[in-house]
C-alpha cells in the first residue's frame, strides 16, 4: 500500500538524558542520547528540515513545501534543552522550537506532575503512588501538603532553563514558543482559565524575549480544549499532540509524540503513517475541535 504522508511531520519531545531524572521517571521513560541521535538520523535521512517561519508562511499560503519535511519541537523548557539538545542540533545544522511555561522559568515554580514523580521516588508507597498519579492541577495544595509532611523540598531543584539559557537558544537561532503559564490539563480548568493560561503565556514569551512571532503548544493535549479558547487565541501557529494528523483549524498543527518511540524510529513512524493512511481512507485523519 502506498503510504500517505502529510507535507510536514512534527516530532515532539520533552527531554533527553543518560542519567535518571527523578521528576520524570515515574511518569514516562526518558529518552537516552543514543536513541535520540538514532531518531535524528532517521528524520534527516528521510525528510527535509524546515523552520517555523516556513511553516507559518506555508499555512498562510505564501510558501510551498516541496519535499516531505520535518520540524523538531520540545515542550516544557527543561534544562537539558540548552545543555544537551541544542548543541546536538547545532552540530547537525538543525532548527527546532522550544515551548516554555513562564511560571517555571528560573525554577520559580514546578509542574505538578514533576512534583508527583519526585514524591513517589522519595516515599515509595504504592497506594499513595496511584492516588498521586491521578492528581490534577486542582490538587496542588494537597500535593504540596504531602511533600511538606514528608519533608520534601522542591526549592533547590534545577529542572528548568533560566532566562539566560532561553536567551542563548534564541541567539543560536532556535524558535521559542509558549506552553501555558502553569501547565494545567485544559479539561480540568474553566474556559476563562484556558484563555488566560494561553494568552498570558504567549504575551509573556513574546514581550520578555522581544520576539516577532507568536507560537504556542497546548500542555498535555488539545483534546477537550474549548472552541472559545481557540477563537480567543492570537497566534501565528499553534500545536497539539494527536500524532500524524491534519487539523481542521488552518493555523493549528498536530505533532508526533516521540517519547513513545522506544526502538527503531523508522518502524515507529511507519506505523503512524500507516494509521494516517488508513484513517484518511475513512476520512478520519483530521482533528476537529
Ligand atoms: Zn508540556
Which residues are found with C-beta within 5 Å of the ion, ligand 1? 75-76, 219
Q: How far apart are CA 214 and CA 222, in angstroms?
A: 17
CATH superfamily of 8-110+157-287: Glycoside hydrolase/deacetylase (3.20.20.370)
Q: How far is the CA of 218 from the centre of ligand 1 (A)?
A: 7
Q: How far is the CA of 252 from the centre of ligand 1 (A)?
A: 17
What pTM did the predictor assign?
A: 0.96
> Cell for 252?
493549528
| 69 Cβ contact list (under 8 Å, min separation 6) | 7, 8, 9, 47, 48, 49, 50
Q: How far apart are CA 46 and CA 35, in angstroms?
A: 17
Q: At what angle do helices 112-123 and 126-133 cross, to 10 degrees?
A: 180
Q: How far is the CA of 180 from the centre of ligand 1 (A)?
A: 9
Q: At what angle do helices 265-281 and 33-46 cross, to 10 degrees?
A: 50
pLDDT of residue 215: 98
Q: How far is the CA of 72 from the centre of ligand 1 (A)?
A: 15
pLDDT of residue 1: 66
Q: Are 265 and 39 in contact (CB under 8 A)?
A: yes
**What 3-state class would DSSP assign to 57?**
helix
Q: How far apart are CA 65 and CA 69, in angstroms?
A: 7
Q: How far apart are CA 113 and CA 110, in angstroms?
A: 8
Split the chain (289 residues) into runs of 10 and give each run's mean pLDDT. 87 97 96 98 97 94 94 98 98 98 96 96 87 94 94 92 98 98 96 97 98 97 92 96 90 95 96 93 88
State phi, psi for 105 to the nearest 5 degrees.
Answer: -60, 140
**What 3-state class would DSSP assign to 240?**
strand
pLDDT of residue 224: 85
Domain boundaries, the chain: 8-110+157-287
Amino acid at each position: 500500500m502506498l503510504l500517505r504522508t502529510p507535507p510536514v511531520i512534527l516530532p515532539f519531545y520533552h527531554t533527553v538524558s543518560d542519567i535518571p531524572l527523578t521528576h520524570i521517571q515515574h511518569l514516562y521513560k526518558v529518552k537516552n542520547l543514543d536513541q535520540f541521535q538514532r531518531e535524528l538520523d532517521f528524520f534527516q535521512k528521510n525528510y527535509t528540515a524546515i523552520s517555523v517561519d516556513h511553516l507559518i508562511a506555508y499555512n498562510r499560503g505564501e510558501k510551498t513545501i516541496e519535499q516531505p519535511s520535518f520540524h523538531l519541537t520540545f515542550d516544557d523548557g527543561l534544562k537539558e534543552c540548552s545543555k544537551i539538545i541544542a548543541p546536538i542540533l547545532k552540530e547537525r545544522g538543525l532548527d527546532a522550537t522550544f515551548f516554555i511555561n513562564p511560571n517555571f522559568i528560573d525554577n520559580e515554580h514546578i509542574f505538578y506532575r514533576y512534583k508527583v514523580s519526585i514524591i513517589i521516588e522519595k516515599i515509595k508507597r504504592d497506594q499513595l503512588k496511584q492516588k498521586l498519579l491521578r492528581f490534577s492541577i486542582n490538587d496542588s495544595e494537597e500535593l504540596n501538603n504531602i511533600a511538606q509532611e514528608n519533608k520534601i523540598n522542591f526549592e533547590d531543584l534545577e529542572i528548568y532553563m533560566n532566562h539566560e539559557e532561553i536567551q542563548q537558544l534564541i541567539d543560536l537561532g532556535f524558535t521559542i514558543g509558549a506552553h501555558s503559564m502553569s501547565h494545567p490539563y485544559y479539561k480540568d480548568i474553566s474556559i476563562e482559565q484556558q484563555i488566560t493560561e494561553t494568552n498570558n503565556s504567549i504575551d509573556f514569551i513574546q514581550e520578555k524575549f522581544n520576539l516577532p512571532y507568536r507560537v504556542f503548544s497546548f500542555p498535555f493535549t488539545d483534546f477537550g480544549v474549548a472552541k472559545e479558547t481557540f477563537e480567543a487565541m492570537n497566534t501565528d501557529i499553534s500545536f497539539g499532540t494527536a500524532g500524524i494528523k491534519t487539523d481542521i483549524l488552518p493555523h493549528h498543527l498536530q505533532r508526533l509524540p516521540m517519547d513513545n518511540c522506544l526502538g527503531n524510529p523508522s518502524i515507529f513512524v511507519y506505523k503512524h503513517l500507516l494509521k494516517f493512511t488508513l484513517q484518511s481512507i475513512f476520512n478520519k485523519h483530521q482533528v476537529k475541535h
